[in-house]
């Protein structure tokens, strides 16, 4: 599968996905650590892709997203942003609302 197709598939299949360096338990950079911690604090499950283990995605995603840096948070197929945006949204409560509402919506669909 072509890398861009793989990215599109990951984004489509995961309502909340974080492209980061490392994993939420073992982040490999400070920005990824902060971003993943803010998501963990929301208390809902989210998917992640370790771009250090996926150099093809690391190379292609910035072009696809038109966003040069990592981490990148995607919710329902839409790029939300990177670490600074995630931290600001967490500070205002917007991140909690977005994550909670999105997770609830997909739990309802699974239950049907």
The answer to whether 31 is annotated as binding is no
Q: Is 84 annotated as a binding residue?
A: yes
Contact present, 3 and 65 (Cβ < 8 Å)? no
Is 70 a known ligand-binding residue? Answer: yes
Torsion, Cα of 71, 49, 107, 25 (10° steps):
-80
Among 43, 10, 13, 39, which Cα is nearest to 24's?
A: 39
**Binding site annotation covers 42?**
no
Check the annotation: does 58 bind a ligand: yes
Q: List binding-site positions.
A: 21, 29, 58, 70, 83-84
Binding residue numbers for [2Fe-2S] cluster: 29
Q: Which residues are annotated as a binding site for glutathione?
A: 21, 58, 70, 83-84
């Amino acid at each position: 599968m072509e890398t861009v197709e793989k990215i599109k598939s990951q984004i489509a299949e995961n309502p909340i996905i974080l492209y980061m360096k490392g994993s939420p338990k073992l982040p490999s950079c400070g920005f990824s650590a902060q971003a993943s911690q803010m998501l963990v604090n929301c208390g809902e499950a989210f998917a992640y892709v370790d771009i250090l283990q996926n150099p093809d995605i690391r190379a292609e995603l910035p072009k696809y997203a038109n966003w040069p840096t990592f981490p990148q948070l995607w919710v329902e197929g839409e790029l939300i942003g990177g670490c600074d945006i995630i931290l600001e949204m967490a500070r205002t409560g917007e991140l909690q609302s977005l994550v909670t509402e999105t997770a609830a919506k997909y739990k309802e669909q699974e239950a049907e």
